Amino acid sequence: MKVVLDTDIGTDIDDAWALAFILAHPEFDLVGVTITDGDTAARAKVACKLLHLTGRDDVPVAVGRATKVPPDRIDHQFEWAEDFTAKKAVAQPAADFLVETARAKPGEVTLVAVGPLQNVADALRKDPGIATLWKRAVFMSGCIYGTATNKKPIPEWNVVSATADAQLVYAAGLPLTIVPLDSTTHVQLRDEERERLRSRPTPLTTALESLYRLWLDSPMTRMTLHDQLAVAETASPGTFFLDEKTLPIRVDDDGYTRIDARGKPVKICLQPKRDEFLDYYLNGLLKQRLGLAAR
């Protein structure tokens, strides 16, 4: 399965662990990684280093436009790659890379977007026709009914942080599936699950543990597996959710993903099978080897 990952790797921890999921999965052919939101050049270095350490220098990393960074945000994961130079991003901008990929392989590539949607929107502005050229688009995005702790919908970060871009993307007619906060907030990494990886060091698991430690802000912090659930849905559609429905979705001016007859049809993944997913995910990470996943 040919995939492109569009990611804001380096702030929350799930992006790096989602890229690792794709690298470890034997059925994925990672065509490229595009970097979105904030200090995109620094984010790209994190992705490049993770690819290099796992023997995947062949995968191009394309950088999207930089956007304003909140003054109080410190992305400690950037420190992991700040002096890394062994692999560099390509010169081609992320939006151009997405357009070129969709045009070169129509109907063959799945777009997995797990960050704010600036790159996808910029690509659609350049070439609106690519909306129908993706085999599938799977986003970690939105909140339809509520979260694990809030029974009312809220504006989800990947949508509300670039609302105008999200409005354009959701209205473009992509063959879109979303894994929203309704599902992802129910799935957190337990200590014993983290220990499964930490106790079996490989270049991949060692890198993930290093990034995890940089991300932790207290001993009680636990990773929510937002982006990994979207990758799991890409790998095996419908397998890890008890309920999937297609509804018309529109992004409003406040960044809410509303059920609205004026919206485009979106497949929504609800009620995650937490334990089944985690077992599948962790087993995959443990099988990864340099240059290719174990088959």
Q: Please, where are the H alpha helices in the chain?
A: 14-24, 40-53, 94-104, 118-126, 157-160, 163-170, 181-184, 191-198, 203-215, 226-235, 274-287
DSSP code string of 8-37 = -TTSSSHHHHHHHHHHH-TT-EEEEEEE-S
> What is residue 289's predicted lDDT score, i.e. its pLDDT?
60
> What is residue 3's predicted lDDT score, i.e. its pLDDT?
98
**pLDDT tens-digit series, residues 112-131:** 999 999 999 999 999 999 99
Q: How far apart are the first and last CA of the chain?
A: 15
User: Is 168 in contact with 251 (CB distance < 8 Å)?
Assistant: no
> What is residue 294's predicted lDDT score, i.e. its pLDDT?
34
Mean pLDDT, rounded, of the chain: 96
**pLDDT tens-digit series, residues 268-294:** 999 999 999 999 999 999 987 654 433
- pLDDT interval class at 134 (50, 70, 90): very high
> What is residue 287's predicted lDDT score, i.e. its pLDDT?
86
Residue 200 pLDDT exceeds 70: yes
pLDDT above 70 as % of the chain: 98
Architecture of domain 2-293: Alpha-Beta Complex (3.90)
